[in-house]
Each structure stands twice: as structure tokens, then as C-alpha cells.
């Protein structure tokens, strides 16, 4: 009830696309009965959670914030959603995003942008006043980052305890950093993608947003493991993710990638990053500078691979099977074209176009195949660093704290998104686990997150270090 009333109170944040009030209340009633009988279903019994609107939810509309899927009610639950429900979690609703999770702002969906709850914090408001910015309540609100901005805002505004996001190039970690919550991207293959509407199949991972690292570990423990419906999930049995309290970090080796010190990095994020490194060092950890030499290729490489997979993935939206269909009865081709023109926004159509260009017979070798080779080099950079004895890498998550919406939309949004993902995308191309943890508040009073990157399938070790840091 408390969470539902907070959802109503914070409706102006636009964090939720659908609030499943009836479902949640019914689930809560059942959880309460179980509780009274002492028959809890598991760690999440009776715990309110939210789910990004690109995961299929049985009987609940799933839109991907797109006209294409508006009104689409899936007949099944994504594996991760089912696993949460099997543990007794209460589904509060579906959260807002960039259309088909393409973006870094949560500004690009058909339901409008998500507002960052920190825009309304007393400290931020006062700082702005001191800096003599005009105090127009509704003109200088901040973006949440994205594309899982709805999920990050939902957790940050206390409307649920955990939320699912998705992470293809940073979409869980980026909004987590901007909204002051924990954002975990598990190792690729640890968590099932079945029922997550794909963006880039070879990089997509369900992400977890929570208020603390322990909660993220609990949710990961529930979600992780083989799924016969996703052939890319690991076959090995998964051990539970209970995090030991690390008291001694002196055996740890923390790597600081020198290429991540980019000119665009804000001085404040830079200084907090150094502070964090010093903290580890002063507690006895070995902190060393490392090199990931192919970092500068990661954004272009991601772009070629992402748009190529998008072109292929989006082909399923043809107006026939589900979702939007235009009225045209001229011909089948005309119907396809008009459906896609009406159903997708510019960002999605732009990516389909780029992807089809890269996949043209005459371009395929030069772009797609080459990008796959570069991807391997980027992944090998990480392998080399970890083979040299580094346990985890410590990096910024984003270039700066959250920016006001009016600033964010000034530049070409796509260029801006591309820059923002510099610290997160390579991780997806390498399939590694990474987590963004809130570090401190900026002088403006806004949260800044730092990222830890771990070895593939060493999610437990990664979270243990993150918990110590938290």
C-alpha cells in the first residue's frame, strides 16, 4: 500500500508506463496469508518490484515505449519475471524507457521522458538557487539516464525495492549512477534473456536495480542459472550469491584503465574516481594503472554491431503478427512500410537503416565482419588485464552527473548517447559482469556512481568488492 501510494504521489516522474495495482494487491494478499502460515515462498515473498517495459509480462501490456507494441499483451512471462513471481515478489508495474531501449536518457519513448527524482531534492534546489538559476520548478528537471530510467527512478523514489532493467551498452548502470542506486549488469549467459524483447542479442542482459549491493546479490541469486529457453545461458549449476563481509582488501588488485581518463570526463567524477582508488590503496589493496588499448574503437564498433543486429531484430515487426498495423490496403508491401513508419520513432528507424547499410553484400566484410574482429580485440584487452592478476577494474560509470533535460536535448541526442556510453559499452561486447555503485554527492547535490568490472562469471567476487566499497 505504501509503495502504491508513493507511485501515485510521484506520478509526475513518469517512471511507470503501467501500474499493475490490482495484480500487486492480490499478490500481496496471498503473500500475507503465506506469511501468517509461516510458509514463505522465498527471499522476495511480499517484496514490491518493478519491471522495465521491454520484458514480457503475461496478461500485462508490454510496449517497449513504442507505438509498434502499444496494446500488445504477451501471453507469457519472461523467464526472469516468472522467477521473481515464483519467489512471491509483488509486481507493481512496468517502467518507462527509451523506445526499444535505444538511448541513454529515457527521453525517447512515446510516453514521454522520465524525470530524475533528485531534481526535486532540497539540496539540489538550494544549490541551483545559490547559483542564481531561475527557479522555475518544472523547467530544470534532470534526466534519469537510460534506457532503464523508469526502473532507476522507481527504485530511487522508494516505489519498489528492486527493479529489472536491461543492459546492452550500459542501460542499467547509466541510470543507476544518475539516480543514486545500485545497477548490476550480470555476466552474459548467467541470466536468461527469454522474454526480454531483444535489442542486440549478443550483448543484451537483464539488469538489476536496487538500493544496496546485498539486494542486487539476492535478486541475482534468484535470476541466475540455465534456462532451456535461452541457449546462451550457462549449463553449470549456479551457487547462491550470498556475499561475505570483506574486512581485508589487502589481497585485492584493483586496475585503473588509463584510457578511461577521457577529456570529456568531468573534473568532479575524475576526482571521486581518484578518491576511491586512494581509499582502496590506503586499506592495503594493490592499485595499478592498466591499459585497455582498444577502448577508443569501442563506440564505433558497438554502433556497427548494434545497428546490424537491430536491423535483423526489428524485421519481426511487420504489422502482421502483433502490435501496430496501419490501415493501408493498397498492397502488402505498402502495409509493411506504413506500419513501420507509424510504429517506430526516428532513432529506431535510423538504426534499422544504418544496420541494413552495414549488412549490404558490398559492405558486410568491410563493416560487420571487421567490427566483429574489433570486438574480439576489445574483449581480449580485458582478458589480458585479468590474466595479469587484476581482480576488478575501477572506472567511472558516466562522464558527469545527471544533466537537465533542456541541456540533454540540445545536442544531437544520438551523438550525446554515444559519448555517454564510453565506460559501459566495452563491457557488453566482452560479456563481463559490472556494477555501478553510488559513490558520493556532487557539489550540486547530485549522485555520482562508480563502476566495478569483474572477470566473466565472477559476479560473486565483483559484488563482494562492491559491497565493501558501498
**Site residues for ligand GLN per CB under 6 A:** 101-104, 147, 166-171, 199, 306, 417, 421
106 or 121, CB closer to ligand GLN? Answer: 106
Catalytic residue set = 52, 147, 171
253 or 418, CB closer to ligand GLN? Answer: 418
Which sign, positive or negative, has the C-alpha torsion 408, 410, 414, 420? negative
Residue 11 burial (C-beta neighbours within 10 Å; 0-12, 13-18, 19+): exposed
What are the CA-CA distances from residue 240 to residues 41, 68, 243, 244 (Å)?
16, 39, 9, 12
What are the CA-CA distances from residue 132 to residues 129, 135, 347, 362 (Å)?
5, 8, 36, 56
| Contact present, 287 and 249 (Cβ < 8 Å) | no
What is the widest separation between alpha-carbon atoms in the chain? 72
Q: Which residues pair with 371 in a beta bridge?
A: none
d(CA 291, CA 88): 45
SS3 at position 464:
helix
53 or 167, CB closer to ligand GLN? Answer: 167
- Residue 176 CB, nearest approach to ligand GLN (Å): 12
The CA-based dihedral angle spanning residues 366, 372, 375, 376, taken in that order and rounded to the nearest 10 degrees: -120
Residue with cell 507494441: 69
**Best CA proximity match to 414, nearest among 348, 369, 325:** 348
- Residue 225 CB, nearest approach to ligand GLN (Å): 23
d(CA 463, CA 287): 18
| Contact present, 453 and 432 (Cβ < 8 Å) | yes
d(CA 459, CA 287): 20
- Residue 418 CB, nearest approach to ligand GLN (Å): 8
**Best CA proximity match to 222, nearest among 47, 449, 431:** 47
- Residue 175 CB, nearest approach to ligand GLN (Å): 10
- Residue 145 CB, nearest approach to ligand GLN (Å): 9
105 or 447, CB closer to ligand GLN? Answer: 105
166 or 354, CB closer to ligand GLN? Answer: 166
| Contact present, 372 and 309 (Cβ < 8 Å) | no
What are the CA-CA distances from residue 264 to residues 288, 347, 447 (Å)?
23, 24, 18
Report DSSP state, residue 77: -
- Residue 200 CB, nearest approach to ligand GLN (Å): 7
158 or 297, CB closer to ligand GLN? Answer: 297
- Residue 169 CB, nearest approach to ligand GLN (Å): 3
Strands (E), 23-67: 48-52
- Residue 177 CB, nearest approach to ligand GLN (Å): 13
101 or 190, CB closer to ligand GLN? Answer: 101
10 or 172, CB closer to ligand GLN? Answer: 172
The CA-based dihedral angle spanning residues 332, 334, 338, 340, taken in that order and rounded to the nearest 10 degrees: 60
Amino acid at each position: 500500500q505504501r509503495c502504491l501510494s508513493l507511485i501515485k504521489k510521484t506520478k509526475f516522474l513518469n517512471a511507470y508506463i503501467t501500474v499493475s495495482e490490482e495484480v500487486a494487491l492480490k499478490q500481496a494478499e496471498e503473500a500475507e496469508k503465506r506469511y501468517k502460515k509461516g510458509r514463505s515462498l522465498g527471499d522476495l515473498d511480499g517484496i514490491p518490484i518493478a519491471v522495465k517495459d521491454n520484458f514480457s509480462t503475461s496478461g500485462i501490456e508490454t510496449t517497449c515505449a513504442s507505438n509498434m507494441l502499444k496494446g500488445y499483451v504477451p501471453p507469457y512471462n519472461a523467464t526472469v519475471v516468472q522467477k521473481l513471481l515464483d519467489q512471491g515478489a509483488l509486481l507493481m508495474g512496468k517502467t518507462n524507457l527509451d523506445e526499444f531501449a535505444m538511448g541513454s536518457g529515457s527521453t525517447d519513448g512515446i510516453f514521454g521522458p522520465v524525470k530524475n527524482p533528485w531534481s526535486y531534492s532540497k539540496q539540489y534546489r538550494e544549490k541551483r538557487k545559490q547559483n542564481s538559476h531561475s527557479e522555475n520548478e518544472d523547467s530544470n528537471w534532470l534526466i534519469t539516464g537510460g534506457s532503464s530510467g523508469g526502473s532507476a527512478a522507481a527504485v530511487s523514489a522508494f516505489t519498489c525495492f528492486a527493479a529489472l532493467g536491461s543492459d546492452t551498452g550500459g542501460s542499467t548502470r547509466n541510470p543507476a549512477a544518475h539516480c543514486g542506486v545500485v545497477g548490476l549488469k550480470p555476466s552474459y549467459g548467467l541470466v536468461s534473456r527469454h522474454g526480454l524483447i531483444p535489442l542486440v542479442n549478443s550483448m543484451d542482459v537483464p539488469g538489476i536495480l536496487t538500493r544496496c549491493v546485498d539486494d542486487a546479490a539476492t535478486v541475482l541469486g534468484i535470476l541466475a542459472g540455465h534456462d532451456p529457453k535461452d541457449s546462451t545461458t550457462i549449463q553449470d549449476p549456479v551457487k547462491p550469491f550470498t556475499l561475505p563481509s570483506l574486512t581485508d582488501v589487502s589481497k585485492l588488485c584493483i586496475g585503473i584503465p588509463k584510457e578511461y581518463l577521457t577529456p570529456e570526463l568531468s573534473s568532479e567524477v575524475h576526482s571521486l574516481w581518484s578518491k576511491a582508488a586512494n581509499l582502496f590503496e590506503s586499506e592495503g589493496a594493490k592499485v595499478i594503472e592498466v591499459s585497455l588499448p582498444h577502448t577508443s574503437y569501442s563506440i564505433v564498433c558497438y554502433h556497427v554491431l548494434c545497428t546490424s543486429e537491430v536491423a535483423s531484430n526489428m524485421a519481426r515487426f511487420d504489422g502482421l503478427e502483433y502490435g501496430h498495423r496501419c490501415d493501408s490496403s493498397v498492397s502488402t508491401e505498402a502495409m509493411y512500410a506504413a506500419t513501420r513508419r507509424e510504429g517506430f520513432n526516428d532513432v529506431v528507424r535510423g538504426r534499422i537503416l544504418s544496420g541494413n547499410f552495414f549488412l549490404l553484400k558490398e559492405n558486410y566484410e568491410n563493416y560487420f565482419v571487421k567490427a566483429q574482429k574489433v570486438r574480439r580485440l576489445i574483449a581480449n584487452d580485458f582478458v589480458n588485464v585479468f590474466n595479469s592478476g587484476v581482480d576488478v577494474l575501477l572506472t567511472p560509470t558516466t562522464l558527469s552527473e545527471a544533466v537537465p533535460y533542456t541541456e540533454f536535448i540540445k545536442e544531437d541526442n544520438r551523438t550525446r548517447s554515444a559519448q555517454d556510453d564510453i565506460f559501459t559499452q566495452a563491457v557488453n561486447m566482452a560479456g563481463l559482469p559490472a556494477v555501478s555503485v553510488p559513490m558520493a554527492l556532487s557539489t550540486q547535490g547530485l549522485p555520482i556512481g562508480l563502476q566495478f568490472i569483474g572477470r566473466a562469471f565472477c559476479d560473486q567476487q565483483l559484488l563482494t568488492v562492491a559491497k565493501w566499497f558501498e
